[in-house]
Amino acid sequence: MDSSKRMKRLYDAACKEVLSEQGIAAHIMKTCVKEFKDIPVKEIIRYIQGKPEVGTVLVNPQGEVTRIEGLQNESKSESEQTVTFDVRFTVTAPGTGETIKLIINLEAQNKFNPGYPLLKRGIYYCSRLISGQYGTVFVKSGYGKIQKVYSIWVCVSPTHNTEYSITSYHMSEKNIVGNVQAKRQHYDLLTVVMVCLGKKKYTELNGLLRLLNMMMVDNYLTKQEKRQILTDEFDIEITPELEKGVDKMCNLSEGIEKNGIDKGITIGREEGREEGRKQGQEDEKLASARRMIAKKKFTAEDISESVELPLDFIKKLMQEQPAH
């Protein structure tokens, strides 16, 4: 795997680690999970169940009281391929008179159109979350014990007509003949929620979109500023693990410089000339390389592979970099 892909993969992993923090997850649940819409964010945390585990990687001891249980993050049957869930945990639904567990699958998705409808994948994930309960939550004909599931997708780069939106898709009852009213808990068992961000600055948005855009999209903020906003504006405790996650996201996003390279490509296409497109790309590559060098966190080899410029050229740029 080349350095650019490796850094993007590390960035995705850092995003999922941040989404798994209880303080962040509580805000997501407040907006996206109807069972918690009337519960204060600070109280939602106590409904989250399970040991601190994300994916298949155990969390360090200092994160034990803040990380969300990953459960078994792979779902597999004998005839189907393995499905890996990003963040998976259980919560106890309030105000029901009985213990109902919600299995919430949070997905950080960069490609809104990966070659298939993302919504269908969300429904598929919900289906696997339900079918995966057989043998653990219920056995034989004990279908009454099936637990409701949510699949919540945080989409960083959605289409223009879906950005800055939060949409829920769920099962509902509709009478074709007659007037039957089944108990909602017997059919309201799966919900897909699409949380679509965009390129606006977080200050132009409100609520959950404001929080997630600040965390995952707004690259103009420093990691210190993001930590301060989380504390002052969203009343989220900055745990050691959350601090590491935020720092990691900021450092990796600067290395990737995805927005800058995309901008160079866009400028070239708007000019309608191949020469303009190439020049835009080269200019952005050079700017990205200089920013990575200034951070002093990457080797010449990493920078060369990430921005696709010759190694000798990168070494020369590093020699020209003024000392601080």
Strand pairing category for 74-75 and 57-58: unpaired
- Run of H or E including 312: helix 311-320
Bigger pLDDT: 299 or 63?
Answer: 299
pLDDT digits (tens, 9 = 90+) for 160-196: 899 999 999 999 999 999 999 999 989 999 999 999 9
Please report the pLDDT score of residue 233 as a whole number: 94
Please report the pLDDT score of residue 61 as a whole number: 35
Q: How many CB atoms are closer than 10 A to CB 31?
A: 20
How is residue 67 written in tokens? 């990380």
pLDDT digits (tens, 9 = 90+) for 67-105: 555 555 555 554 455 656 778 888 888 887 666 777 777
User: pLDDT category, 254, cuts 50, 70, 90?
Assistant: low
- Run of H or E including 119: helix 118-131
Please report the pLDDT score of residue 64 as a whole number: 40
Separation of alpha carbons 112 and 78, rounded Å: 30
Please report the pLDDT score of residue 204 as a whole number: 93
Q: What is the amino acid identity at position 232?
A: D
Within the chain, residue ranges assigned H as helices are 3-19, 22-32, 41-44, 118-131, 207-216, 223-232, 240-256, 258-271, 274-295, 300-307, 311-320
Please give the mean pLDDT across all residues of the chain.
Answer: 80
pTM of the model: 0.71
Mean pLDDT in residue range 45-64: 52
Burial class (CB in 10 A: 0-12, 13-18, 19+), 194: buried
Please report the pLDDT score of residue 195 as a whole number: 94
Separation of alpha carbons 195 and 199, rounded Å: 14
Within 182-273, residue ranges assigned H as helices are 207-216, 223-232, 240-256, 258-271
Q: What are phi and psi of 219, to 5 degrees?
A: -85, 0
Q: Where are the domains of the chain?
A: 3-221, 258-320
What 3-state DSSP class applies to 260?
Answer: helix
How is residue 255 written in tokens? 């290395």
pLDDT digits (tens, 9 = 90+) for 221-241: 888 999 999 999 999 999 888
Would you say 46 and 284 are in contact if contact means Cβ atoms under 8 Å apart? no
Overall residue count recorded for the chain in this entry: 324
CA–CA–CA angle 294, 295, 298 (5° rounding): 105
User: pLDDT category, 65, cuts 50, 70, 90?
Assistant: very low
Separation of alpha carbons 309 and 298, rounded Å: 14
Burial class (CB in 10 A: 0-12, 13-18, 19+), 178: exposed
Would you say 163 and 198 are in contact if contact means Cβ atoms under 8 Å apart? yes
Closest CA to 171 of 157, 161, 185, 154: 185
How is residue 59 written in tokens? 């969390």
Separation of alpha carbons 128 and 134, rounded Å: 10
Q: What is the largest CA-CA distance in the chain?
A: 80
Backbone Cα Rg of the chain: 22
Separation of alpha carbons 206 and 76, rounded Å: 39
What 3-state DSSP class applies to 141?
Answer: coil
